[in-house]
Amino acid sequence: MFVTEKLALHAKEQPHHLITQFKGRNTTYSAFYEQAKRLAGYFQAKGYEQEDIIAVYLNNSDYFLICYYACQLGGFSVMPVNTKLAAPEVEYIFAHSEAKALIFGADMEPILKEIPDTFAKFKDTLVVGENEGLIEVLENGAISYEEVRECEERTSVIFYTSGTTGKQKGVMLTASNVRAVAEIWGEAMELNSKDRMQIVAPLFHCAASHVFSIPVIYAGGTIVIEEGFSPERALNTMEQEDITIFFGVPAMYSILLNTPKMQGLQLPNLRLFTYGAAPMPYELVRKVKALYPDVKVQNLYGQTENSPAATTLKDHHALEKIGSVGEPLPQTQVQVVDEFGEPLPVGQVGEIVTKGPQVMKGYLKNEEATSRSIQNGWLYTGDLGRFDEDGLLYIVDRKKDMIIRAGENVYPVEVEEVLYQIPELLEAAVVGIPHTVYGEVPKAFIVLKEGQTLTEEAITSFCSKRLANYKIPEEIVFIDTLPRNASGKVLKTALRKE
């Protein structure tokens, strides 16, 4: 059953059950469904057709999920946009995708004012403002919605994710991908209609929306949404809203454990702590288990291209298999292969490849990258790993040199391309270094042109105008030359040791 069919079923069978809670606004399944149909009908009346792209540029709120489902009901492609990106990054996504409509929060207007020409190209725009734009359509719009017959291969969602070439790539997920994720994670987390999922991570990321929101709604549960992560507020919500499942990146758990309130918190309804985006250190897992021995701890591993997960480390392995990302999810195959695509024996390191109904359709307008990533039905992740004798997967290194800062992906080449725009700079290399709170942060090594001078502050200021804050190097080191091997490749392994 597709996610739209499940929503319609829940709206009929449990109309008064809450689907979302946000800042005191409680929405039932029936009301949510009616509002989503109003918005879908609004775009249908304007002549939008199947797979027309509608960009959703919103921070966390219940409106994000209503927009998501409205696009599914209308047969459109929803494109969540990262609200942390700088204006040039947002402009590229809008231009490359050729999105026809934009739904945006009033708080995004300063960024949009920096790209007026691109903004003007949208056929329609809806702002989320007080009694106007989107809210007017949701609350007072006529329900002229015409039901659309769902198609397995319809491009349902497009998530732009950073690429190793420096240009962001649009990951296309189909209606069948979304359904598969809802089914797979419903089984993996044993979801039911009594579950109350707390969302503090950004919904514009695939994990928060596709692993921890859509599957809960598919099961008939409730999503308790917060604007962002605040440790005190997160703990208050857990306690006061009878949360059953919490998702966070390891950095969030580290902060929560250092918040005095957590030490004496009574959470009788909480049954599952979930985490992803980075490994959880042993000491963090141990502290969580010591504080809440009856609460299970579960990890997920994957990429946006996997919608976004392929494996999970369940609670019974949480401490004994620390460092592992677990075993394949239901309906999912995972292998570790050599350079010829042949499976490797237990213990040997190779590239991790995955296959399953959640693997993406491909990259938008990029057949070359799609054919490199998907070969014979297998998704080549670019991550290096190994299996142990119990069939559990371990990540050894990231082939793509990706940095994960508090759950946000940073590709060094993206940062390097910005640094190379600085006139005084000759060479630059960016690597990830450990950080006690964020897990990893970018560190830049800079070689200046002869006779030139530059300060760390000047570089940081330059980057801040062109990159999201989380991509700006945390440390900047000036060196005479970059270390290279015989073929001239920069030795980033050596730089990480500096």
Residues 25-37 pLDDT 10s: 999 999 999 999 9
**CATH code at 3-330+357-363:** 3.40.50.12780
CA distance 274 to 185: 12
Show the CA angle centred on residue 462, arms to residues 461 and 468, nearest 5°: 85
Percent above pLDDT 70 for the chain: 97
What is the full DSSP assignment across 110-143? HHHHT-HHHHTT-SEEEEEETTEEHHHHHHH---
The yes-or-no verdict on residue 384 having pLDDT over 90 is no
In the numeric block, which tokens belong to residue 339?
């350079």
Which of 4-13, 165-174, 398-407, 483-492 shows the lowest mean pLDDT across its residues? 483-492
Confidence of residue 485 (pLDDT cuts 50, 70, 90): low
pLDDT value of residue 328: 98
In the numeric block, which tokens belong to residue 471?
């991509």
pLDDT value of residue 498: 81
3-state helix, strand, coil in the chain (%, to 5): 35, 30, 40
Distance of CA 429 to the CA centre of its chain: 26
Q: DSSP class of residue 291?
A: H
Please, are residues 365 and 349 in contact by the beta-carbon 8 Å criterion? no
CA dihedral 452→455→456→459, nearest 10 degrees, is -60
CA distance 233 to 487: 52
Residues 77-122 pLDDT 10s: 999 999 999 999 999 999 999 999 999 999 999 999 999 999 999 9
Angular region, 47: left φ>0, alpha ψ -120 to 50, beta rest: left
Same fold, 3-330+357-363 and 410-496: no
pLDDT value of residue 16: 99
pLDDT value of residue 164: 44
Confidence of residue 412 (pLDDT cuts 50, 70, 90): confident
Q: Please, which residues have CB within 8 angstroms of residue 305's CB and are 6 or more apart in sequence?
A: 161, 171, 359, 360, 373, 379, 381
Please, are residues 381 and 336 in contact by the beta-carbon 8 Å criterion? no
The yes-or-no verdict on residue 399 having pLDDT over 80 is no
Question: pTM of the prediction?
Answer: 0.87
Please, are residues 358 and 306 in contact by the beta-carbon 8 Å criterion? yes
Enumerate the domain spans of the chain: 3-330+357-363, 410-496
SS3 state at 47: coil
pLDDT value of residue 163: 52
Kindly report the average pLDDT of the chain as a whole number.
94
Residues 427-442 pLDDT 10s: 899 999 999 889 999 9
Q: Which DSSP helix (H) or strand (E) runs through 177?
A: helix 175-188
Query: Of residues 487 and 464, which shows the higher confidence score?
Result: 464
pLDDT value of residue 131: 67
Q: DSSP class of residue 490?
A: B
The yes-or-no verdict on residue 260 having pLDDT over 60 is yes
What is the full DSSP assignment across 403-456? EEETTEEE-HHHHHHHHTTSTTEEEEEEEEEEETTTEEEEEEEEEEPTT----H
Q: How many CB atoms lie within 10 A of CB 60?
A: 23
Average pLDDT over residues 165-171: 81
pLDDT value of residue 322: 86
What phi and psi values does residue 133 have, to the nearest 5 degrees? 55, -120
Please, are residues 419 and 463 in contact by the beta-carbon 8 Å criterion? yes
Of 356, 350, 330, 451, the C-alpha closest to 394 is: 350
pLDDT value of residue 158: 99
Burial (CB count <10 Å: 0-12, 13-18, 19+), residue 151: middle
Query: Of residues 135 and 165, which shows the higher confidence score?
Result: 135
pLDDT value of residue 53: 99
Query: 410-496: which CATH architecture?
Result: 2-Layer Sandwich (3.30)
CA distance 233 to 243: 13
The yes-or-no verdict on residue 312 having pLDDT over 60 is yes
Confidence of residue 166 (pLDDT cuts 50, 70, 90): low
Average pLDDT over residues 139-161: 93
Please, are residues 272 and 244 in contact by the beta-carbon 8 Å criterion? yes
Please, are residues 164 and 413 in contact by the beta-carbon 8 Å criterion? yes
CA distance 101 to 410: 28
Q: Which DSSP helix (H) or strand (E) runs through 416?
A: helix 412-419
pLDDT value of residue 264: 83
Q: Which DSSP helix (H) or strand (E) runs through 301?
A: strand 296-301
What is the full DSSP assignment across 226-274? -SS--HHHHHHHHHHTT-SEEEE-HHHHHHHHTSHHHHT---TT--EEE
Please, are residues 265 and 235 in contact by the beta-carbon 8 Å criterion? yes
Q: Please, which residues have CB within 8 angstroms of residue 18's CB and are 6 or more apart in sequence?
A: 26, 27, 28, 29, 222
Query: Of residues 224 and 407, which shows the higher confidence score?
Result: 224
Of 490, 311, 291, 295, the C-alpha closest to 395 is: 311
